[in-house]
Chain A
């Protein structure tokens, strides 16, 4: 039984293609996370603004993203611009776009949470010692906000990696899709192809996401002291 597995992975470019698929997965996740952070911080700051005109639109945006499945958003950006405005977006661009919108919504919530959970006296203590507002932000508020954010950001990263399989539906050659393609071809001669390939991919996601989440836990523990 094991030799069927081995022949599978050594055959042709199977293993290499899986790695390429993995790379696409990681690439899209990384880019989306970075872009989400930028957009997310902006939207998050909007949410704690005192001006209700600035404060409310993000709430609708967040609720919309919260309720609509990612796949539907992917289809939306895949078909809509193409059929209506003759704008043919590459599948990968659609993926990054949608993931960024989703990630930014999550980030905005994290940023809002991090800033509002900051004890009030932090700022007041800074003033009492004579620091300017800018200095207070730079040395007291921002470092602490960043600490509160990092576990959330890491958590978001792993969630993105786990959501990338959806882009399978719009034909991006990410890990799971490559797996399916391999199974379709190899399965004709190798009976256990689907078992081994999907099992392997399952395992791959695990060994990528698990260490990252452990690292996040480690950071949380280290910084809670």
Chain B
């Protein structure tokens, strides 16, 4: 029953490894772009809602609910297969990044919202009392503290988004799953599974460890919510 351990075809793994590695690199770049955009979108959205900007705050609210209540896969299907029929043609990479940014933005907005709400009113008043302008207040008093509170949520979202990238093969992107599906057609199913797991571990575990370290540092500095 356990002889799958002794019968690992290492030669195959060494041969196929580079293919997976390349796909992993691609995944990381796409994820990086998408996550970065989602942070920007999330930040702007949360500030709009925090400052209750008329009209925009309702639009942003609707966006957040839409982004958080629909799966990435269907968003990608719609962007890649649906939109071309009404004239908007996007390539796989663009769809992937837009999809991640759209979905991620909604989650990041919620993370930042809880951060902003955690900053006490008196802190804001203290900042006002020393004559800071609103932009200065946001930059020096509000955001640093909001961000510190938001880190755990931002961390969880980042890891979630990186895992979501596994659907990218449906928009014809040669990511890890695509390589897996391709290679497994010719057998070596165990080795392919190992490679798939190994490479996802390689790209996600460091991120998880990094955030864990950061969270511990923040907690020691007395910032925990």
Is there a direct interface between A and B, measured as CB atoms under 8 Å apart in the complex?
yes
Chain A interface (Cβ within 8 Å of chain B)?
63, 66-72, 75-76, 79-80, 83-85, 158, 162-166, 168-169, 176, 179-180, 183, 191-199, 201-202, 205-206, 209-210, 213
- Whole-angstrom CA separation of A206 from B64 in the bound complex: 12
- Whole-angstrom CA separation of A201 from B73 in the bound complex: 11
Measured between beta carbons, the chain A residues less than 8 angstroms from B196 are 72, 75
> B201 contacts the other chain (Cβ, under 8 Å)?
yes
Measured between beta carbons, the chain A residues less than 8 angstroms from B166 are 69-72, 166
Majority-rule SS of A interface residues: helix
Tell me whether B193 and A205 are in contact (CB under 8 A). Answer: no
Query: Whose C-beta in chain B lies nearest to the C-beta of A175?
Result: B74
Contact partner, A68, options B75, B184, B200, Cβ 8 Å = B200
Measured between beta carbons, the chain A residues less than 8 angstroms from B81 are 183, 194, 198
Given contact pairs A162-B69, A192-B85, A192-B86, A80 touches B74 in the complex (Cβ within 8 A): no
- Whole-angstrom CA separation of A165 from B170 in the bound complex: 12
- Whole-angstrom CA separation of A49 from B105 in the bound complex: 38
Tell me whether A191 and B85 are in contact (CB under 8 A). Answer: yes
25 sampled A-B residue pairs with Cβ under 8 A: A67-B201, A67-B204, A67-B205, A68-B204, A76-B193, A83-B189, A85-B1, A165-B71, A166-B166, A166-B167, A176-B77, A179-B74, A179-B77, A191-B85, A194-B84, A194-B85, A195-B82, A195-B85, A198-B74, A198-B78, A202-B74, A205-B69, A206-B65, A206-B70, A209-B70
User: Size of chain B's interface in residues, with CB distance under 8 A?
Assistant: 38
Query: Whose C-beta in chain A lies nearest to the C-beta of B177?
Result: A71
> B4 contacts the other chain (Cβ, under 8 Å)?
yes
Tell me whether A176 and B73 are in contact (CB under 8 A). Answer: yes
Tell me whether A80 and B190 are in contact (CB under 8 A). Answer: yes
Tell me whether B77 and A79 are in contact (CB under 8 A). Answer: no
Given contact pairs A68-B197, A79-B189, A201 touches B74 in the complex (Cβ within 8 A): yes
Kindly identify, within residues 20 to 72 of chain B, every residue whose CB is under 8 Å from any CB belonging to chain A: 65-66, 68-72
Measured between beta carbons, the chain B residues less than 8 angstroms from A205 are 69-71, 74
CB of A165, distance to nearest CB on chain B (Å)? 4
Tell me whether A84 and B70 are in contact (CB under 8 A). Answer: no
Return the CB mask of B73-108 against A: 1 if under 8 Å, else 0. 111011001111110000000000000000000000
- Whole-angstrom CA separation of A47 from B94 in the bound complex: 43
Tell me which of A71, A158, A169 has the highest count of chain B C-beta atoms within 10 A of its own C-beta.
A71
Measured between beta carbons, the chain B residues less than 8 angstroms from A76 are 193, 197
CB of A82, distance to nearest CB on chain B (Å)? 8
Tell me whether B200 and A198 are in contact (CB under 8 A). Answer: no
Tell me whether B74 and A213 are in contact (CB under 8 A). Answer: no
